[in-house]
Structure 1
Amino acid sequence: MTQHPTAAARRPANRGPKAAAGNRAALISAAREIYAAQGLDAPLSGIARRAGVGQAVLYRHFPDRDAIAAAVLEENVRQIEQAAGEGTALAGVLGVLTWHLTQSAAFISLLHADEASGGHPHTRTFARDLHDRVERTLRQCLPEGHRLGAPGDLMLAVSMVSGAVSGPTPEQREHRALAAWGLLGVTVGPVRPFEG
């Protein structure tokens, strides 16, 4: 006679609070992947499935769609800051920034925060704060006399590249982003997430 495992035997053991940080990181990573493939309106259930957790775990960490999108954007900026903080040259930091541009339409919108006119004031403030952090981070890596050193040129270049990032696949978006940087005469390092 075939014995079927009980529900408790099929389910992985609950690791309790120890799993919280890992679950949160998995949810952010899964959200980035899902959003890159399906856009910001992707079902939250798909994010939970991709992360390997139940929807209750997702809602425990992120009470709504805006909260998880904000966490992804915050993580993008944090990776750019970490890359710069470890002494990475401008080209390397731009490689990390370009990876995020090719993965996230929401990140592109963030970089245009100074142009945001509508929406909730809290959202505009959040976007402006992250935008300013990206600019400060890139500026600290900018070598003396760099072609993007004039006030406003750095983020204008980033906006121009982000405007060129289009295409149905990350590979096509990366190709277009690198071509745009090349037209601006700016060297970019490997396009990859920061894993420090």
Structure 2
Amino acid sequence: MPSTASPRVSSLSRQNRGPAAAADNRRALIAAAREVYAEGGLGAPFSAVAKRAGVGQGSLYRHFPDRTALAVAVFEDNVRGLEDDTAPADRTIDDLLDLVVEQAVVSTAFIELITADLRDPRVAGLGARFHDLVARVVERDRDAGRIGGHVETEDVTMATGMLATELARSDPAQRPAVAARARALFRAAFAPR
């Protein structure tokens, strides 16, 4: 005897996996947030993230009660990527700046939000991790003679922040040229004397 259940209802019940879907939903929300805020900036509705991820508003708020929580999750992934990519001994400040350029172009809306909430403890932890990875790269470059002894971790941290902020403010078509100009300035400032 054929089923009388609506195909739509049965497919919906298969889609709702409840708590088992939590990790997948979180990943989908983070990916959607990157896209939504890259396209629409911080003014994009928070609800657009849930819609793009294909999850309900309740799931969005369970995982991320506010925009800062969502931004921290996105930047947690970015910092983890920076840590992994700068870990090999042959990675340099130039490699770090390349990565910052890649992330800034994709996540421009988040830069503004994160820099506005520097006192938020969720943001401070990411800042400390970023500082630590920059310190490792600076020490490595200094030891290899690629940068001068005058270059401090805070100089490179400031340079990455300046670069990311300038890219966020630039017209997307101009970002490669802006990044190249900034990189040339940093190379000259960091060079051994």
TM-score (norm 2): 0.73
> 1:96 maps to what in 2?
99
Q: State the structure with more CA Rg.
A: 2
Q: In the alignment, is the contact (CA less than 8 A) between 1:148 and 1:154 conserved in 2?
A: no
Q: In the alignment, is the contact (CA less than 8 A) between 1:100 and 1:107 conserved in 2?
A: no
After TM superposition, give the deviation of residue 133 of structure 1 in Å.
Answer: 1.6
For 1:106, which of 85, 107, 110 is the aligned residue? 110
For 2:36, which of 23, 34, 37 is the aligned residue? 34
Larger CA deviation: 45-54 vs 139-148 = 139-148
After TM superposition, give the deviation of residue 174 of structure 1 in Å.
Answer: 4.0
> 2:178 maps to what in 1?
176
> 1:55 maps to what in 2?
57
Q: In the alignment, is the contact (CA less than 8 A) between 1:101 and 1:108 conserved in 2?
A: no
Q: In the alignment, is the contact (CA less than 8 A) between 1:108 and 1:162 conserved in 2?
A: no
AA aligned opposite 2:41: G
Distance in 1 of aligned mates of 2:122 and 2:59: 25
> 2:77 maps to what in 1?
75
Unaligned runs of 5+ in 2: 189-193
Question: Comparing both chains, which one has the higher relative contact order based on Cα–Cα distances under 8 Å and sequence gaps of 6 or more?
Answer: 1
> 2:122 maps to what in 1?
126
Kindly report which structure 2 residues correspond to 1:5-24, keeping only aligned pairs within 5 A, or say none.
Answer: 5-11=6-12, 12-24=14-26
Which structure: greater helix fraction? 2
Residue-pair matches, total = 175
Unaligned runs of 5+ in 1: 187-196
Larger CA deviation: 99-108 vs 69-78 = 99-108
For 1:137, which of 133, 138, 144 is the aligned residue? 133
Instruction: Find the residue that maps to 2:22 and give its secondary structure.
Output: helix
Taking only aligned residues, the RMSD between alpha carbons, in angstroms, comes to 3.0
> 2:147 maps to what in 1?
147
Q: In the alignment, is the contact (CA less than 8 A) between 1:99 and 1:174 conserved in 2?
A: no
Mark the CA change 1:43 to 1:148 in structure 2 (over 3 Å): closer, same or farther: farther
TM-score (norm 1): 0.72
Q: In the alignment, is the contact (CA less than 8 A) between 1:135 and 1:154 conserved in 2?
A: no
